[in-house]
Amino acid sequence: MAAFSYICDSVAVITMSNPPVNALSSALIRAVQKAVEEAIGDFAVEAIVIRGDKGKFSAGADIREFNRLERGPPLVSLIDLIEDSKKPVVAAIEGVALGGGLELALGCHYRIAHAQAYVGLPEVLLGLVPAAGGALRLPRLIGISATLSMITTGKYVQAREALKLGIVDKVVGENTVDEAIQLAKKVIGQPLGSRQLSTLPVQCPPNVEAFLDEAMVKVKKQFRGAQSPLACVEVLRAAVQLPYLEGKKKERELFQFLYTTDQTRAQQYAFFAEREVAKWTLPSGASWKTASPQPIRTAAVIGLGTMGRSIVTSLAKAKIPVIALEQDKKQLDIGSKAVMSLLDREILKMEQLGHTEFTNSLGPVQFTLDYGKLRDVDIVIEAVFENMALKKEIFRHLSGICKPEAFLCTNTSGLDIDEMASVTNRPQMVIGTHFFSPAHIMKLLEVVHGHYTSSTTISTAMRLAKMLGKVGVLVGNCPSFVGNRLMRLYVEQAVFLVEEGSKPEEIDRALEDFGLAMGPFRMMDLAGLDIGWKARTEIGLTGPKLPIGTPARQRGSKRYSPLPDILCEKGRFGQKSGQGWYKYEKSGGRNAMPDPWLYNFLSEYQRIHNLKTHYVTQEEIIERCLYVLINEGFKVLEDGIASGPEDIDVIYNNGYGWPKYTGGPMYYASIVGLPVVLTKLEKYYGANPDIPDLKPSSFLKKLVSKGNPPLKEWRSHLGFQSSML
């Protein structure tokens, strides 16, 4: 770890070095400070360039140091030292300048960026605000409105957009450091006043107070429950209302407050959990370290339904040439139009951001009816609808056509990977890749490891996730895998609560107030109630296969609610039919309105089934819906379907709209306290013995009996003998 300087003509070049991302640890800050002081004091130096080692400027403050007590020299004073320098300082930005890294660059008098570099202030994603002057300098450079959008979302901005916004002075295609040195030489001796951002006025829209009030309302709505986006608006208010130095105090105060909250701890946990799940290990000893992913130069997607289209789009966005196959001309025409329209939208989005090169860098898409075209692809992703017989037929076919080295993936949300693998000539190269809709936007990829799947296949699928900009989470093969297995119980619990007297909108509101992106009833209406109905009909839970005489509200010894089936029988499929749990302005409408028809229907249903209703509190809604999900999470761990609680949390944070500021369901359980979760589950199971999913899992009980250990120790209490991974 070092920040060393060399002098090129009269320009000192200071290199920040702290692999892998040059995070600004105490030691690095100290080293940079020393180097800057030396350069300022050196008569031979007339200008300074600051760069990051190994093609990365800096990913910001070292997050790993956040929880440590010892602290080095503050980043803020280093940045002030740079800005106050009488010798011009140029930031040469390659790779990333994020958080404290961008704040440091904003302290420099000039910024040059490589075209592929990204800048951003993502502190909000860690439950914090920029606090090293970033929220005060940026609005002085690019204005309140653009700063607001950047700091409340934490989005990363590519160099060309940064140039358009005015964050950087120049974008170069190569030799960023040399260009920075040239610029530094050119500006030697020029006045620096207008380049010292802290001395400039904030660029405000007219009536800035009203603008900020409105922003606060919007941000509250958009990031329901999250504290840091609100603090971001507050820090901008301080930038507007207070002189720079006073603003700095406020920035620090807000940071200090957020720094002690549960939310920031949860978000930091979520950040590291996302990185942790990439480091998969199997009980056999195979792991991300030892397995070698194979190159993916070309791909094919089979089926151009909703999922297939967006998977093709996702591959094209990742610049992977893709062949899209459909079974007949009509489906191919419909599918190809849909894909082209998705790609057009992506191009438009990128062009609006100033990425003119994007159009040319999409992977080419070829549409075909001919399986023969798949002969040479490296990977095939089957994305036809959930029908085992059809999927097997396709896999049998692929087995005979594709080159022996080709990997065969299935996009299924819960079917048996081994059954599909068994009909191929390469079961070790078959793997589940469960995408989430829309696949070109959602970050999660559940990578499902079958009994035969080789470690090379796993590492290739995990590499694919990374190439697509997604978080891949390795899970075992069981019905519905991890995400949907937990989700089914959560949704079922919500329906039971409606039977017991609650209303869909009350349940949705309670869970949305908790922070979930969408409550279960709005979610069911959006996804389409007919999908679950079809699946339940196929397995005989309802419909003609249901044995005559089966009690309406019981399957085996378990409670069952036929409510969703009855809604479907009445043609209420959700948004697509204009009616479901809610009513909509029209078929395909999105505006969910409570439906008086449903209230009457529910009263009648409760009367027919002789149900005693009770007042369901918000607390009961949250606890029953979430704890049943969490309980299943413990069972998933016990069954060896996920290797640790982090995997479940990453799945929920990235695929199910779980509020990241609670860390994920398992982290949330650890904060509530496992003894509390256990006691509540025992209470609810006692009151509802016909819902066995409320019966506390033995792993939860074990952890409580071991004294409620912290989440990071849970894995060590799991036996590997039952691992499905």
Ligand X SMILES: CCCCCCCCCCCCC/C=C/C(=O)SCCNC(=O)CCNC(=O)[C@H](O)C(C)(C)COP(=O)(O)OP(=O)(O)OC[C@H]1O[C@@H](n2cnc3c(N)ncnc32)[C@H](O)[C@@H]1OP(=O)(O)O
Task: Give the residues lining the site for ligand X (CB under 6 A).
Answer: 20-21, 23, 59-64, 74-76, 96, 98-100, 122-123, 126, 131-132, 252, 255-256, 259, 275
Residue 444 forms beta bridges with which residues?
Answer: 471
d(CA 672, CA 682): 16
User: Maximum distance among all alpha carbons in the chain?
Assistant: 95
CB of 181 to ligand X, least distance (A): 25
CB of 260 to ligand X, least distance (A): 7
List the one residue out of 537, 607, 613 whose CA is nearest residue 568: 537
Judged by beta carbon, residue 128 or residue 630, the one nearer ligand X is 128
Active site residues: 103, 123
d(CA 438, CA 384): 15
Judged by beta carbon, residue 252 or residue 397, the one nearer ligand X is 252
d(CA 701, CA 69): 34
Residue for token pair 């140091």: 65
d(CA 48, CA 84): 13
Judged by beta carbon, residue 78 or residue 184, the one nearer ligand X is 78
What CA dihedral angle connects 145, 147, 148 and 151, to 10 degrees?
170
Please say whether the beta carbons of 49 and 16 come within 8 A: no
Query: Which DSSP state fits 655?
Result: H
CB of 443 to ligand X, least distance (A): 12
Please say whether the beta carbons of 167 and 138 come within 8 A: yes
**Residues contacting 374, CB < 8 A, separation 6+:** 300, 323, 325, 380, 398, 401, 402, 406
Return the amino acid letter for 96: V
Judged by beta carbon, residue 72 or residue 578, the one nearer ligand X is 72
d(CA 177, CA 367): 44
List the one residue out of 318, 322, 317, 320 whose CA is nearest residue 304: 322
Which two three-digit tokens encode residue 191? 């006045």
Question: Which residue sits closest to ligand X, CB atoms considered?
Answer: 99
CB of 58 to ligand X, least distance (A): 8
CB of 295 to ligand X, least distance (A): 19
CB of 258 to ligand X, least distance (A): 9
CB of 342 to ligand X, least distance (A): 25
CB of 670 to ligand X, least distance (A): 21
CB of 319 to ligand X, least distance (A): 17
**Residues contacting 104, CB < 8 A, separation 6+:** 24, 50, 58, 75, 78, 79, 82, 91, 97, 132
Judged by beta carbon, residue 75 or residue 711, the one nearer ligand X is 75
d(CA 693, CA 300): 40
Judged by beta carbon, residue 237 or residue 470, the one nearer ligand X is 470
258-to-41, 224, 273, 409, 513 alpha-carbon distances in Å: 38, 16, 20, 43, 20
Judged by beta carbon, residue 646 or residue 693, the one nearer ligand X is 646
Judged by beta carbon, residue 75 or residue 465, the one nearer ligand X is 75
**Residues contacting 274, CB < 8 A, separation 6+:** 471, 650, 653, 654
CB of 20 to ligand X, least distance (A): 5
Which two three-digit tokens encode residue 688? 């509802």
Judged by beta carbon, residue 54 or residue 545, the one nearer ligand X is 54
Please say whether the beta carbons of 403 and 457 come within 8 A: no
d(CA 232, CA 155): 13
Please tell me whether the peptide bond between 438 and the residue prior to it is cis, using omega within 30 degrees of 0: yes
List the one residue out of 171, 567, 581 whose CA is nearest residue 354: 171
Judged by beta carbon, residue 20 or residue 556, the one nearer ligand X is 20
Return the amino acid letter for 437: S
Our separate counts of H helices and E strands in the chain read 28, 19
Handedness of CA 132, 135, 138, 139 (dihedral sign): negative
